[in-house]
Chains A and B, each alone.
Chain A
């Protein structure tokens, strides 16, 4: 193909090494047939911030999965107390040393092991709650946006009600009824997050529904279900992915808040939230006790937020250009 378009003399000249024409032809060939996803992936790979935060998230995930291994290597379990090794003669926690790499807490427990175990709770809560929120918000939003009229009014008002709920009061009330646990935390987080997603999806669906390709599908005799899943959903996947990545850090912070207030995971299990809560009385004498769980929380949410921003830029390059100007 590319050879035929080149002047014969030039092609003869440039035969040993690829001509500029040939290179262009090959580049053009490569560009052809790339799906929107492949293009987004290519953009994402060139984004250093995205790669950096993805690596950080990967490391945190590996550490969370390998938490028992780390506990084994260090020789301290997450709930093991060392009243003599981990505390000084005044009963105050001991700072970082060779036994306790990141110091010990008020009960003489290893902060490193507890931070590592805390990552498990944070990641599970963040990912599961966000997934539930995106799923519920996506479904409700699509139904409201696609069917409109009475369905839309009912579902939209329902979302408004949820968005106007005093969330901490609700959490306290619920926990006092059923008792705190990770499941309850996840349920509370998902319950308060899905309506935001639902509203965005509803708005997008509302505009997609009026597109001519939906009308084309209707004129072909497609059912509502087919239009929703085949024609509308693929156009919503990009915003849903962006929202999921941005919801994860918010959910992690939310979970930490609940734990901090004693409404989340019950104390012997380490979470970043209840470690921060425990460290409050000691922040003057034991900086490590507050710094490491707090730092872990900060780094995790920062990495997810930066990745979310990069994913959005990669999926919708126009948006990024607007702000770079």
Chain B
């Protein structure tokens, strides 16, 4: 088992709010009348992480890499296939739904879609009042006061208590979602792409709101996004995911200064730079091929079919997540041949033939087409 944090620098247990250990979530693919299992989507495949109290951990990766599934596993919206999640010193990975219920107060989620995450047929007051109703905390006028207080905290007009979600703008709706998540005074808030559906000008408002709330209520965030500049703005540490696995974890400054994993390098090189001169000089790493299917992931390192410097070793041995030479103890990467500072990745030569690598991706996709018709939701 691999820990995201190396033993030497392991924070005290009292500092750790969530410990995710080798969590796996596979979605069975069933077809036919008998619902026979023909394959599995390896959405999250052995992820270990620690989230410390009061920090913001950003999780980045492409669409379909398993970020949202990981979030839902931590929030126990999904049952885990394997592994453990320890929240606040308590193993919650095998708790039944009923026994999980009181603990839900401590973990709340903010969702991506500001339209879909609010019931269009219910009034805002009753949506934000839901947490109080479900946990039987308050009722009647008392609840109304609490809800209006929450609305004020997140910057909504408390007089809009009786309005419907459709009467609010996207940013305001996301504030409603934040208020609902905040209602039970959780310790951990998992924000699943909370701003990716919003205009850029509104994104900043919501991000600032989340930062202010973190200071005010001592919250811990898991912040999921595919937009690296957003994650950089809010996070203390960043975990990079690729095809169900974490490939690199580091503090924000470390990750941007010394990205070790070729995939991280490629991601960072894709972030737009506002200065055109700088942008011209910058090295752009263009990855070959498509993301392989998570139903039949490539052997060894999952990134090897697309990696500019993959060698034969990469096709055979899955690299462990560990501290690379010269790095700080909290900076870990899963790569056999980590990128050195100053190395030009675009000039790197892979040690295995291109057709061979392409074949690995094709095999992976063929297995998918053979197994199922339309792809199931991951």
Partner-B contacts on A (CB < 8 A): 32-33, 35-36, 210-213, 215-222, 226, 230-231, 234-235, 237
Identify which of B104, B119, B120, B377 contacts A219 (C-beta below 8 A).
B104
Inside 8 A of A231's CB, which chain B residues have their CB?
A: 119, 122
Judge whether B109 and A216 touch: CB under 8 Å.
Answer: yes
- Given known contacts A36-B164, A231-B119, A234-B122, is B77 in contact with A220 (CB within 8 Å)? no
By a CB distance below 8 angstroms, the chain B residues around A218 are 77
Query: Which residue of the partner chain A has the closest CB to B114?
Result: A212
Closest Cβ of chain B to A277, distance in Å, is 46
Contact A33 B117 (CB under 8 A): no
Contact B130 A235 (CB under 8 A): no
1/0 per position for B168-201, CB-CB distance to A under 8 A?
0000000001001000100000000000000000
A-contact bits for B115-149, CB 8 A (1 contact / 0 none): 01111111100000011001100000000000000
Task: For A217, list chain B residues within 8 Å (CB).
Answer: 130, 134
Within 8 A of A (CB), among B214-231: none
Query: How many angstroms between the C-alpha atoms of A231 and B120 in the bound complex?
Result: 9
> Which residue of chain A is the closest to B117 with respect to CB atoms?
A212
Measured between beta carbons, the chain B residues less than 8 angstroms from A216 are: 109, 111, 117-118, 177, 180
In angstroms, Cα B243 to Cα A306, docked, is: 54
Interface-central residue, B111, B130, B377, by most chain A CB under 10 Å? B130
B152 at the A/B interface (Cβ < 8 Å)?
Answer: no
Q: A235 and B180: CB pair below 8 A?
A: no
Flag whether B163 is at the interface (Cβ < 8 A).
yes
**With contact pairs A33-B163, A234-B121 given, residues A220 and B113 touching in the complex (Cβ less than 8 Å):** no
A215–B119 CB distance below 8 A: no
The answer for the CA separation of A220 and B122 in the assembled complex, in Å, is 16
Nearest first, the 6 closest Cβ-Cβ pairs linking A and B are A234-B121, A212-B117, A221-B104, A212-B116, A221-B101, A213-B119
| A222 contacts across to B, CB distance below 8 A | 130, 134
Contact of B104 among A211, A215, A220 (CB under 8 A): A220
**CB of B44 to closest CB in A, whole Å:** 17
Q: Tell me how far the C-beta of B187 lies from the nearest C-beta in chain A, rounded to whole angstroms.
A: 14
Q: How far is the CA of A278 from the CA of B368 in the complex (A)?
A: 66
Contacts of A219 on B, CB cut-off 8 Å? 75, 77, 104, 107-109
Pair B119/A235 contact, Cβ less than 8 Å: yes
| Cα distance, A221 to B92, chains bound together (Å) | 14
Chain B interface residues toward A at CB < 8 A: 75, 77, 100-102, 104-105, 107-109, 111-113, 116-123, 130-131, 134-135, 162-164, 166-167, 177, 180, 184, 377
**4 more A-B residue pairs beyond the given contacts A36-B120, A216-B180, A234-B121, with a C-beta to C-beta distance below 8 A:** A213-B116, A215-B111, A221-B135, A226-B134
CB-based contact A221/B100 at 8 Å: yes
> Taking the nearest CB of chain A, how far is it from the CB of B320, in angstroms?
33
Between A219, A234, A237, the greatest number of chain B beta carbons within 10 A of the residue's beta carbon is seen for: A219
- Chain A residue at minimal CB-CB distance from B101: A221
Min CB–CB distance B110 → chain A (angstroms) = 9
**Chain A residue with the shortest CB-CB distance to B122:** A234
A220-B121 in contact (CB<8A): no
> How far is it, in angstroms, between the C-alpha of A220 and the C-alpha of B377 when the chains are bound?
23
The residues of A that contact B120 with a CB separation of less than 8 Å are: 36, 235
Cα distance, A219 to B135, chains bound together (Å): 12
Q: In the assembled complex, which residues on chain A have CB atoms less than 8 Å from the CB atom of B163?
A: 32-33
Which of A211, A217, A220 has the most chain B CB within a 10 Å cutoff?
Answer: A220
28 contacts between A and B (CB under 8 A): A32-B163, A32-B167, A33-B163, A36-B121, A212-B111, A212-B112, A212-B113, A213-B117, A213-B118, A213-B119, A215-B77, A216-B109, A216-B111, A216-B118, A217-B130, A217-B134, A219-B77, A219-B107, A220-B104, A220-B131, A220-B134, A220-B180, A221-B100, A221-B105, A221-B135, A222-B134, A226-B134, A235-B119
- Distance between A31 CB and nearest chain B CB, rounded to angstroms: 9
**Interchain nearest-CB distance for A316 vs B (Å):** 12
Residues of A close to B177: CB separation below 8 A = 216
Whether the Cβ atoms of A33 and B77 lie closer than 8 Å is no
Residue from the set A213, A217, A222, A231 with the largest chain B CB neighbour count within 10 Å: A213
How far does the Cβ of B212 sit from chain A's closest Cβ, in whole Å? 22
Q: Name the CB-closest residue of B to A153.
A: B35
Give the distance in Å from the alpha carbon of A121 to the alpha carbon of B268 in the complex. Answer: 75
- Which residue in chain B gives the minimum CB-CB distance to A211? B116
User: Which chain A positions have C-beta within 8 A of B184?
Assistant: 220
CB distance from A25 to the nearest CB of B (A): 16
Task: Tell me the complex Cα distance, A36–B164, Å.
Answer: 8
**Nearest CB of chain A from residue B126's CB, rounded to whole Å:** 9
A35: B residues at CB distance < 8 A: 123, 164
What are the residues of chain A within 8 A of B113 when measuring CB–CB? 212
Chain B hits for A36, CB < 8 A:
120-121, 164, 166
**What is the distance, in angstroms, from B45's C-beta to the closest C-beta of chain A?**
22
- Shortest Cβ distance from residue A12 to the other chain B in the assembled complex, whole angstroms: 30
Q: Tell me the bound Cα distance from A235 to B180 in angstroms.
A: 20
Task: Chain B residues near A210: list those with CB within 8 A.
Answer: 377
CB nearest to B102 among chain A residues: A221
A308 to chain B, nearest CB (A): 21
Q: Which residues of B contact A235 (CB under 8 A)?
A: 119-121
Chain B residues whose C-beta falls within 8 Å of the C-beta of A212 in the assembled complex: 111-113, 116-117
A221/B122 in contact, CB under 8 A: no
Q: Which residues of B contact A220 (CB under 8 A)?
A: 104, 108, 130-131, 134-135, 180, 184
A208's nearest neighbour on chain B, judged by CB, is: B119
List chain B residues, Cβ under 8 A from A215. 77, 109, 111, 117
| Nearest CB in chain B to that of A150: its residue | B35
CA distance in complex: A167, B98 (Å): 45
Cα A216 to Cα B118 in complex, Å, equals: 8
- A215 vs B69: C-alpha distance when bound (angstroms): 13
CA A235 – CA B75 in complex, angstroms?
26
Nearest residue in A to B163 (C-beta to C-beta)?
A33
Residue of B nearest to A237 (CB): B121
Q: How far is the CB of B167 from chain A (nearest CB, A)?
A: 7
Most chain B beta carbons < 10 A, residue from A32, A221, A234? A221
Min C-beta distance of B291 to chain A, whole Å: 23
